[in-house]
Each structure stands twice: as C-alpha cells, then as structure tokens.
C-alpha cells in the first residue's frame, strides 16, 4: 500500500507527540501518588518500628531524596522496563504486571469481539431502515447499554448463569497463557458484562456513520445509476465508515481497560484491575504507579495505532494536534 506524503508527515508528527505525552503521563502518575499523606517508610516498618528501621527503609527505597530526583530515577528505570519493586511482596512491579496482564487483555478482547459482532450489524441494520422496528430496538439497546451499571449486569449474570443454572463458573479464571480454552470459558460472563457499553457505543456510532454515507450525494448518484440497495450498503457504505469503526473501537477499548477494575473484583479474576484494588487498599503505591503508567501507555499506543490507520485509510484526515 502506498502511503501519501501528507500521511507520512502526519504519522511522523504524531509519533513525535508520543514522547512528551508519555513523559507527562509518567510525571502525573508519579507526582499525584507521591502527594499521599503519611510516610511510606513508616507504613512499611510495621508496628512499633525503631527510628533506625524507618531510616533504613527510607534509604533502601530512596524516599529521603528530593521528589524530582526520585521521579527522574523512577522514570529512567521505567524506560528500561524496571518499575521498581512492590513495597509489600518485594516482587518486581514489571513481573507482576506481565503475569496479570493476560487475564485483563483476554477479558477486554473478548468483550470487544462481543461488542463488535453485535454492534456493527445492528448499527448497519438500523441505518439501512431508519424509523423501523429494528431501528427502535437498536436505539433501545444503545440507551440501555450506556446507562446500565455493567458490574451490576455481571452480578445478575452470576446469579442466573452461575448460581441458579451453574452453566458458567461464578468466579475465578485459569491462567490464559496455560489454559486458553478454560480461560475463555470462564471469561464469558465478565466479558458480556464488560461489553454492554461497547455494544451501545458501536451501534450508535455505526448507525450515525452509515446514515451520513447513505444520505451523501454520491450514494444518490450510484442509486440513480441503478445499483441495488444492498450493493450500495455493503460495497460503498461499509468502505466509507472505516474511520468511524476505528474511532469507536479505540474509544471502547480505552474505556474497557478502566472498567475491568470492577469486573475483575466481582468475578475474582487475578488481572490488572484486581491487583490495582489490592495494591491501593494496602497503599502499595509503587505498584499503583507502575500499573497506572503501563495501562496509560497501552491506551496511548492504541490511540497512536488508530491515528496511523486513519492516515493510511484516508489521507485527507488531519489529526487534531
């Protein structure tokens, strides 16, 4: 595929922006959590610590240095993949994240597939026949999906399909890197709950995008030339909503990453989200910082890929700077 000069320039500019954003993300994550009240060293020293013990811990973790020095040190190591170690378990934060990420990624991907498989056809059908029953159903599903508390949906699903009928497990998930089939099976209920807002968002955006294409001048011309409605819909309509699809999938992905926190807790899945909750409760802020940084990086990278895809699909696109 040939990428035009404009697109290339845009991609380069977008890549260059990546660097300062990553720096800002790291800085915000580090500073905000360092503002926490209380001395982490005292916290770590346990009950009735001696002054020497606290000082020892301070020096071990470098808490006694100025905050900007601490940040520079942390960020410098982070760039090499070292996110320091957990205050509680002494386990390297990067190892924790790598071992937990597959659970979260599996859930998010599964939910994305569910949302796309339901949302895209539903949105197209609604756009093809606006004002009919299918359009009403689609808009009903959209309204419901964005308003329903997804973790409540998760609870209802557990009550019905796990506790009442025992079709799916209520909690837990095998390690996806070892037992992918079993993990997928266990991830079904949480992923359905996680997909709720995604289905809504994708349906709504697809409908709007398709209607914009279908009411455009050139589609009118194609129809006048005698092309069948289905050909117009699938050949020309779909091709031209590519941008919409990427935008909405990116958006939905970003939201899902955050939403897993609650669902992993409901379903007792040992992913990034439940690790976050556990670390936050226990004030293990080195882990909290590490997770926030890595997850924000995931989101930034997904957005970057989306922007590059825009530039390739449609060279006219000027990504807002």
Partner 1 sequence: MTLAAETPVVKKTERAPTRTGWLMRQPRAVASMCFLLFLAFIALSAPWLAPYDPTKPDFGALLQGPSAAHWLGTDDLGRDILSRLMHGAGPSLVSAFASVALGMAIGVPVGLLAGFLGGWTDTVISRVLDALLSFPTILFAVGIAGILGPSMTTGLIALGVLFSPQFARLVRARTLVVRQELYVDAARAFGASTSRILIRHVLPNAIQSAIVHAGLLLAIALLAESSLSFLGFGVQPPHTSWGAMLARAYAYMESAPYLMFPPGIAILLTALSFNGLGETTRVLLDPQSPKA
- The residues in 73-92 that bind partner 1, with binding defined as CB under 8 A, are none
Q: How far apart are CA 121 and CA 20, in angstroms?
A: 39
The interface with partner 1 within residues 163-202 (CB under 8 A) comprises 163
Please state the closest distance from residue 188 (CB atom) to partner 1, in A: 18
The interface with partner 1 within residues 285-304 (CB under 8 A) comprises 285, 288-289, 291-292, 295-297, 299-300, 303
- Alpha carbons within 13 A on the beta-carbon side of 209: 25
The interface with partner 1 within residues 100-159 (CB under 8 A) comprises 127-131, 143-144, 146-152, 155-156, 158-159
- Given candidates 3, 15, 31, 32, which one binds partner 1 under the rule CB under 8 A? 32
Kindly state whether residue 243 participates in binding partner 1, applying the rule CB under 8 A. Answer: no
Q: How far apart are CA 41 and CA 57, in angstroms?
A: 6
Kindly state whether residue 17 participates in binding partner 1, applying the rule CB under 8 A. Answer: yes
Please state the closest distance from residue 231 (CB atom) to partner 1, in A: 12
Shorter beta-carbon distance to partner 1: residue 17 or 55: 17
- Given candidates 54, 88, 211, 317, which one binds partner 1 under the rule CB under 8 A? 211
The residue whose two tokens read 């500019």 is: 13
**Alpha-carbon radius of gyration of the chain:** 24
- Given candidates 106, 206, 219, 312, which one binds partner 1 under the rule CB under 8 A? 219
Kindly state whether residue 28 participates in binding partner 1, applying the rule CB under 8 A. Answer: yes
**Contacts for 319 with CB less than 8 Å, ≥ 6 apart:** 10, 14, 307, 310, 311
Kindly state whether residue 67 participates in binding partner 1, applying the rule CB under 8 A. Answer: no
Number of residues that bind partner 1 (CB under 8 A): 72
Kindly tell me the sign of the dihedral angle through the C-alpha atoms of 294, 295, 298, 300: negative
Q: Where are the alpha helices (DSSP H) in 162-284?
A: 180-186, 188-214, 217-224, 229-231, 238-240, 242-266, 272-281
């Amino acid at each position: 595929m040939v990428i035009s000069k404009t697109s290339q320039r845009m991609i380069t500019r977008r890549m260059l922006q990546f660097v300062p954003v990553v720096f800002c993300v790291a800085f915000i994550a580090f500073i905000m959590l360092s503002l926490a009240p209380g001395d982490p060293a005292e916290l770590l020293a346990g009950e009735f610590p001696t002054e020497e013990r606290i000082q020892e811990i301070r020096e071990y973790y470098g808490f006694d240095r100025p905050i900007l020095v601490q940040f520079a040190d942390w960020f410098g190591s982070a760039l090499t993949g070292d996110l320091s170690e957990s205050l509680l378990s002494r386990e390297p934060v990067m190892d924790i994240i790598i071992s937990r990420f597959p659970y979260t990624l599996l859930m998010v991907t599964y939910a994305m597939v569910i949302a796309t498989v339901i949302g895209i056809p539903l949105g197209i059908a609604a756009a093809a026949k606006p004002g009919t029953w299918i359009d009403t159903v689609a808009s009903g599903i959209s309204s419901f999906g964005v308003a329903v508390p997804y973790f409540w949906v998760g609870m209802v699903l557990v009550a019905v399909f796990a506790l009442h009928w025992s079709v799916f497990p209520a909690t837990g998930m095998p390690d996806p890197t070892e037992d992918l089939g079993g993990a997928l099976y266990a991830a079904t209920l949480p992923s359905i709950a996680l997909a709720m807002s995604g289905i809504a968002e994708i349906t709504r955006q697809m409908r709007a995008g398709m209607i914009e294409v279908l009411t455009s001048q050139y589609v009118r011309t194609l129809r006048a030339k005698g092309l069948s409605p289905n050909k117009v819909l699938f050949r020309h309509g779909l091709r031209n909503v590519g941008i919409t699809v990427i935008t909405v999938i990116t958006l939905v992905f970003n939201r899902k990453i955050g939403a897993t926190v609650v669902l992993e807790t409901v379903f007792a899945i040992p992913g990034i989200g439940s690790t976050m909750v556990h670390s936050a409760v226990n004030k293990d802020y080195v882990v909290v910082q590490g997770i926030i940084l890595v997850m924000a990086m995931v989101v930034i990278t997904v957005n970057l890929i989306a922007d590059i895809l825009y530039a390739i699909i449609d060279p006219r696109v000027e990504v807002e700077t």
